[in-house]
Structures are given as C-alpha cells and as structure tokens.
Amino acid sequence: MPDFYAVIGNPIHHSKSPIIHKLFAQETQQDMQYEAILASLDGFEAAVKAFQQRGGKGMNVTLPFKLEAYALSTRLTDRANAAQAVNTLKFNGNNDILGDNTDGTALVHDIEVNQHVAIAGKSILLMGAGGAARGAILPLLKLKPRILAIANRTKEKAQVLQRQFSAHGNVLSGHYQDFSGESFDIIINATSASLHDELPSLPGGIFSKESLAYDMMYGEELTPFLRFAQQQGASKLVDGIGMLVEQAAESFFLWRGIRPETKKVIEILKNNGH
C-alpha cells in the first residue's frame, strides 16, 4: 500500500504540487500517492482530520489556511514557530501533528542558488503580511540584507511583523505608498493578488533596472505584478515555480527523509508551460 499525501487549499485547481511530488516519488523510488484537496473556507480542520482518518501521512498547506495549520499543529519546528504560519503537516499517529514552514527556506534557495542573486547587503521590499510573508521574513533576515521593508494594504499588520522580527535585522513597515520614491534591489510579492489577477497598489519608482521582481505566485503568463515590474524597467522577472518546487522538496525531505533533486523538476514545469 502506498503512503498518502495531499495538498489542501482554496482555490486548489491551479496547484502543481501533485505533479511535483509524483516526479519526486519516481526519482527517489518512493511508494506514495499525492492528491489535491479543496477545503471549504470554514472546513479546514474537518478536511485535515478526514484525511488523517484515511491514513494520510502528511499535507502541504496553501492559501488561505497557513495560519489555521499553525493553530492545528501539536508540535512546531523552529522555523514554523518563528513564522507563526505552517505550510507542511506531518502526521505521526496518536494525534501528533508536526507543523513546519518550508516557504522561507525555499524562497531564499530559489533566489540565491537558482537565480544567482545574493541577498546580503541588499534592500528588500516584501509585499504582504499574511502566512506567505511571515514564512519568508526570518530566512531573509538571516542572510543579512541591508533593509527589509514590509508593505501591506493594512499598515497595522505590517507593523506587527516589524515588531516581531526587528531583533533579527533592520525591518521597516508601512503602507505601499509609504515607500513611494524608494527603490529596492529585490521586490517580493507575497500577497495573493496575482491569484485574482490583481495588482497591489504599488507606487511607481520602486524598481530599478537591476531589480529582481519576484512573485510567489505563478501562472501561464506573467502575473500582473511581474507585468508591472517589466513596465517599470525591472530586468529580472521571476515567478514562484522555483520556490514551489524547493518548498515541496523540503516537505518531501521532512516526510520521507530523502531530499529530491529540484533542477530537473523546475525545468519540466517551466517547459510544460505552468
């Protein structure tokens, strides 16, 4: 009998996680099955429990359930504890649920290793203050950027994160318009706006020609954020496929104790038009 895993979210139809984990399982010769589960917005816990009862071993958690997954976990890794958001669950029987956050580790690996952009000494603008942003902050700060500015539609949410993480580095916070006239080396979209084909209310002028514009979301075409960055003159446009594959590899390692190769899987997804 194969071991069962799943990704859970709402929406979920766009998820590439089943393809990625199938490729990882083939590569590492693991006997496992992986599916996508659409949970109703008020039905996350019930869906997780039902999957556990079917013998599920672990889950990836995507929008909008990362904070609920954090609350549901009975134990947390250090990085999930720091993020206060969970994107990976591991079920160990006896209602023991280990919560992990592989987002930030995956993001910095994709930026530094796959995109060859160093984070140390750079100015970074992080857009958003939800679960995806939370997971990214500490791994980014560990690499010693010059500043990490957190911009959010609701300024107070960004300020909460600034207070939470300011001991780890130079963290600023504000509304998008508060950063008008500032330009950044790396601009990361951690909002869900691209899922709805929308663009957060970014001021012009934050991109320079050398800027890396990074959207955690991905689609068949450039996301609205990456289109805007391109119009503003940013030369390096990256979507979230690399991050998705890297965080999946981290999850796979947590579940199976084997770290799969990511490069070939990233290429397959990019060539197949994600």
Catalytic residue list: 66
Q: Is 223 annotated as a binding residue?
A: no
Residue 154 annotated as lining a ligand binding site = yes
16 is in an annotated binding site: yes
Sign of the four-CA dihedral 82, 146, 106, 113 = negative
Phi and psi at 248, nearest 5°, equal -65, -40
Number of H helices, E strands in the chain: 10, 12
181 is in an annotated binding site: no
- Whether 49 contacts 70, CB under 8 Å: no
Query: Cα separations (Å) of 177 from 173, 208, 236?
Result: 11, 17, 23
Say if residue 135 carries a ligand binding annotation. no
Residue 59 among known ligand-binding residues: no
Tell me the CA distances in angstroms from 235 to 19, 57, 202, 232, one per residue in order: 30, 42, 18, 9
Residue 35 counted as an annotated binding residue: no
128 in a known ligand binding site: yes
- Is 218 known as a binding-site position? yes
- Outline where DSSP puts E strands in the chain: 3-9, 32-38, 56-61, 75-76, 88-91, 97-100, 123-127, 147-151, 171-174, 184-189, 207-215, 236-238
247 is in an annotated binding site: yes
Determine whether the annotation assigns residue 153 to a binding site.
yes
Q: Compute φ and ψ for 115, nearest 5 degrees.
A: -100, -5
Query: Are 232 and 204 spatial neighbours (Cβ–Cβ below 8 Å)?
Result: yes
What single-letter DSSP state applies at residue 5?
A: E
**Strand pairing of 56-61 and 88-91?**
antiparallel
Annotated binding-site residue? 152? yes
Is residue 235 a known part of a binding site?
Answer: no
Binding residue positions for shikimate: 15-17, 62, 87, 103, 218, 247
Q: Which residues are annotated as a binding site?
A: 15-17, 62, 78, 87, 103, 128-132, 152-157, 216, 218, 240, 247
Annotated binding site for NADP(+): 78, 128-132, 152-157, 216, 240
